[in-house]
Amino acid sequence: MIKYETIEELLNAPEGEQYEFKEAKNRFDFQELAKYCCALANCNGGKIVLGITNDRPRKVVGSTAFEQPERTKYGLIDKLKIHIDFVLYEHSGKRVLVFEVASRPVGQTVQIDGVAWWRKGDSLIPMSSEEMSRIFAEAGHDFLLTYVMMCL
């Protein structure tokens, strides 16, 4: 379920596993957006906020990225196979776009082109095999072994 924050709450939200802030004043790469959404899903879901600075004190700079957010939403859903929604805000004449990303299913990772993206600090990295094993163990089946066997 989406919690609709106010702009003030977004400005004060901690960036971390559940929030990612990008200025994206004019544009943002769809593939990069998909990777961040993948990482958020693998970290129990969260939000990517376009049009607010990352550095504190945060400022609303506005974003014209993804002028058709509904189309972007369905593109992300098709690519990631998880629920994604969006909220548009207007603050002092500036547009802020927030994509809400659902958590990964229990015992499964979300992947793009065979890579389960993960966050380490401010960086996106491929998920380690140890972390994948921990996630697969949630379902009580050795999916890592299955995955490795499929790759051989």
Does a structural domain hold residue 1?
no
- What is the per-residue pLDDT across 127-143, written as a single tens digit (0 to 9) for each? 999 999 999 999 875 55
Q: What range defines the domain where residue 133 resides?
A: 7-151
Label residue 1 exposed, middle or buried (CB < 10 Å: 0-12, 13-18, 19+). exposed
Does a structural domain hold residue 2?
no
Could you give the CA distance from residue 120 to residue 127 in angstroms, rounded to a whole number? Answer: 9
Domains held by the chain: number: 1
- What is the per-residue pLDDT across 83-98, written as a single tens digit (0 to 9) for each? 999 999 999 999 999 9
> What pLDDT is stored for residue 15 in this prediction?
73
Does a structural domain hold residue 146?
yes
- What is the per-residue pLDDT across 56-81, written as a single tens digit (0 to 9) for each? 899 999 999 999 999 999 999 999 99
Does a structural domain hold residue 91?
yes
Does residue 126 carry a pLDDT above 80?
Answer: yes
pTM for the complete prediction? Answer: 0.86
Does a structural domain hold residue 104?
yes
- Mean pLDDT for 47-57 is 94
Could you give the CA distance from residue 1 to residue 18 in angstroms, rounded to a whole number? Answer: 14
The CATH number that applies at residue 41 is 3.30.950.30
- What is the per-residue pLDDT across 12-36, written as a single tens digit (0 to 9) for each? 888 776 899 999 999 999 999 999 9
> Strands (DSSP E) along the chain, which ranges?
19-22, 46-50, 84-91, 94-101, 117-120, 123-126
